[in-house]
Structure 1
Amino acid sequence: MKAVRIPEINGSLSVVDLPLPQPGPDQVRVAVEACGVCHTDHNIVRGDFGDGPFPLTPGHEVAGRIDALGEGVEGWAVGDRVAVGWFGGSCGHCQACREGDAINCTNGQVPGVAYPGGYAEALVVPLSALARIPDGLTAAEAAPMGCAGVTVFNALRRTAARPGDLVAILGLGGLGHLGVQFAQKMGFETVAIARGGEKEPLAKQLGATHYIDSNISDVAEELQALGGAQVVLATVTEPSAMTAAFDGLRARGELVVVGASPDKIEVSPYQLISGQKKVQGHASGTSREVEETLRFAALSGVRAMTEQVPLEEAPAAFGKMLAGEARFRMVLTAGH
């Protein structure tokens, strides 16, 4: 089969021929139809997750069909349409798993790290990683929901915000453009915050009621003028932008962080205590939550904006994503 191979940390991507993997007990093989190119793939390639997985095949936003079953598999059949996201399996026996918190599994698996990922014509995954794709979504539409989609959908529905509340989406990129859509479909009064007035038409097209250009406006003041945000969902990777938005929260408001960065958000105890506000990080979501995200997207019309390229062009697509030239999600497609 064709697959992308990266030999070492910061190594170059190349498309090579590899043996077709065979599923073991409680595993299935998925014939990949589409795989999103996520920025976190770059973090993996540059060694943020250690040097153990190399050589590796990246890819954790996978959509396809089951084409082989391992021993002992029940409840799944060859031909089932499935997605596999950042959550690539859990151990089932650590404390987090026993508490029903599998996304924080101590031994959690990520495709492209724990085992070869979806930049390939096929991959083998554990049963716990599988999410069913509903009718109405193509593979290319489903793939980004396994990481980007479930991240923002889960983050929003786990806040204290209720329909009609003011919710701000900080950033209008790969995560943010989905966040605006989900927020609007959930019934929130949605604010999009981004740099530059040229992004306002897109923000309104995606469902934002309000747009704040952070290049020319004080974000916190603008949010307070609208009554204060119950939630600011930070999809950007710049903590300084999160800091600037924090005082736009209303009393008991929440800054929910999904944009990953090693740098620090600067918020004082005074800011937290005044109005009893909170800062909270949010991870991705389990396979069950990916399934719920897919179902909501199918029902509501939320879709990732994608640029699709064949698997053979993966190195170019990866480079385009790194250069910030992709708008908004690059998706690799494989023919079967």
Structure 2
Amino acid sequence: MQEMKAAVVPEVNAPWELRDVPMPEAGPHQVLVRIHACGLCYTDALMARGVLSYRPFPLVLGHEGVGEVVAVGPGVTERQVGDRVGLPITQKPCGRCAFCREHHPYSFVTANNCANPVLTGVNVDGGQAEYVAADESGTVLLPDAIPYELAAPTVCAGYTVWAALRRADPKPDARVAVGGIGGVGHLGVQFAKAAGYHTIAVTHSPEKHDLARELGADDVVADGAELKAAGGADVLLHTSPRHETAIDALGGLRPWGKLVLMGISADDTFPLPALAVTSHSYQVVGSAHNSPEYLAEALEIVARGDVTPMIDVFPKEKVNEGYERLINGQLRFRGVVTY
């Protein structure tokens, strides 16, 4: 049996180790992808630390893998050798449960509602490896112009924030605020500006103000009071796992405004100011990728250069250094491992 290099998480809270492991083969309706790059996501950290648990350790994580199809299994019709593809988290639903019988598009909603989904880098091995075997329907074609290192974070972080903006469905003259200028938020500012909206960055970090303007923000404010003084927002994209900042920023949301939540946190409580929500007819919307068409759109926007993920790149031999920088908040802004 052939072997490959993979980043293995041997046990909860353990350092990631680059190990030799058996190389997978493409089964029926599967493709074998030679991974060129894989992003580091905070969801990976939650699984590595045991906060989220879907299968026993050891784990090979990674749901932001991108690479080239090098082999196809029996029955494959949608992909061919040489295709450049990404591997988003939702690889395949079970197709048999009550949720699947409603024929929803693949998204993270599918991951959370299907009775037995296949989730890349979650309940099956993911993209932090030299090769991944995945169902052909769990891959997305990459535009020719997008480099692998920029495609990787777009497969999750870029997908997340673009799908949230599309779900908010702002009017053409809307004002869009982005709360949290981090790994997801720095992309949110760029996507909102690329879509033509008046864009406001909301950050408590003074050192990020100049960067937010460089990313395209028309205004930069520190909190909800400053957001209101700057003219308010029709849509607030909350990208941070810190929910208290979203509650504060509601003070700057205009009447009939929408608060869109996409940050994942171990704290599942979200105390809303009921009077404000009711009296201003606010909408609070959850967003979880929503539809593969939005991933395709996000990839095209990055491919044409309108949005550029800011990344720290690590060779596979330094994958644990990348992970450590992720959990210590030292990435600026997304980590990508090359294989």
TM-score class, shorter: over 0.9
In the alignment, what sits opposite 1:294?
A: 299
Q: Alpha carbons of 1:192 and 1:289: their partners in 2 closer, same or farther (altered >3 Å)?
A: same
For the structure 1 residues 267 and 87, does the alpha-carbon distance in structure 2 shift closer, same or farther, using more than 3 Å as the test? same
Report the CA distance shift for 1:157/1:247 in structure 2 as closer, same or farther (over 3 A). same
**Structure-1 residue corresponding to 2:198:** 189
The reply on whether 1:257 has 2:261 as its aligned counterpart is yes
Q: What's the CA shift for 1:246?
A: 1.1
Normalising by structure 2, we get a TM-score of: 0.92
> How far 1:211 moved relative to its partner?
0.3
Partners of 2:46 and 2:77 lie apart in 1 by 35
The answer for the alignment partner of 1:166 in structure 2 is: 175
Counterpart position of 1:137: 146
- In structure 2, what is the equivalent of residue 17 of structure 1? 20
Task: Report the counterpart of residue 281 of structure 2 in structure 1.
Answer: 276
Counterparts of 2:117 and 2:190, CA distance in 1? 29
Q: Which amino acid aligns with 1:289?
A: Y
- Between the aligned partners of 2:152 and 2:119, the Cα distance in structure 1 is 15
Counterpart Cα distance in 2 of 1:265 and 1:242:
9
The equivalent of 1:89 in structure 2 is 92
Q: Counterpart in 2 of 1:63?
A: 66
After superposition, give the CA deviation of every residue in 1:267-323 in whole Å (9 maximum; x if it has no partner).
Answer: 132111112102121113554432222012223521111111111110111001111
8 Å contact kept, 2:105–2:292: no
**Other-structure match for 2:104:** 100
Percent identity between matched residues is 38
For residues 132-170 of structure 1, the C-alpha deviation after alignment (integer angstroms, 9 at most, x for no partner) is 110211000101011100000000011131232111000
Which amino acid in structure 2 is aligned with residue 260 of structure 1? I
Give the Å deviation of 1:14.
0.7
Tell me the distance in 2 between the aligned counterparts of 1:45 and 1:10: 6
Residue pairs, 1:1-336, within 5 angstroms:
1-50=4-53, 52-97=55-100, 98-103=102-107, 104-105=109-110, 106=114, 107-212=116-221, 214=222, 219-261=223-265, 262-334=267-339
Please identify runs of 4+ aligned residues in structure 1 that moved more than 3 A: 92-97, 285-289
1:47 CA drift (Å): 2.2
The amino acid across from 1:229 in the alignment is: A
Of 268-277 and 236-245, the range deviating more from structure 2: 268-277
Contact 1:92 1:102 in 2 (8 A): no
CA distance in 2, matches of 1:93, 1:182: 36
Amino acid at match of 2:85: V
Q: Which runs of 5+ in 1 are unaligned?
A: none
Deviates most, 160-169 or 86-95: 86-95
Structure 1 contact 233–255 (Cα < 8 Å) conserved: yes
Structure 2 gaps, min length 5: none
* Equivalent residues of 2:89, 2:121 under 8 A apart: no
Deviates further, 80-89 or 137-146 = 80-89
Task: Name the Cα RMSD after superposition.
Answer: 1.6
CA contact (8 A) 2:9 2:16 kept: yes
Alpha-carbon deviation of 1:51?
A: 5.5
Q: In structure 2, what is the Cα distance between the partners aligned to 1:198 and 1:7?
A: 37
CA distance in 1, matches of 2:317, 2:225: 48
Give the 3-state SS of the residue equivalent to 1:259 in structure 2: coil
Letter in 2 for 1:88: Q
Q: Is the 8 A contact 1:166 1:230 kept in 2?
A: yes
**CA contact under 8 A between 1:86 and 1:284: conserved in structure 2?**
no
TM-score by length of 1: 0.93
Distance change >3 Å, CA 248–CA 108, structure 1 → 2: farther
Alpha-carbon contact 2:31-2:136 (below 8 Å) kept: yes
SS of 1:163 mapped into structure 2: coil
SS in structure 2 of the partner of residue 30 of structure 1: strand
**Counterpart of 2:232 in structure 1: which amino acid?**
G
Which amino acid in 2 is paired with 1:227? G
Q: Which amino acid aligns with 1:221?
A: A
Gap change, CA 1:95 and 1:302, over 3 Å in 2: farther
Q: Which moved more, 1:120-129 or 1:264-273?
A: 264-273
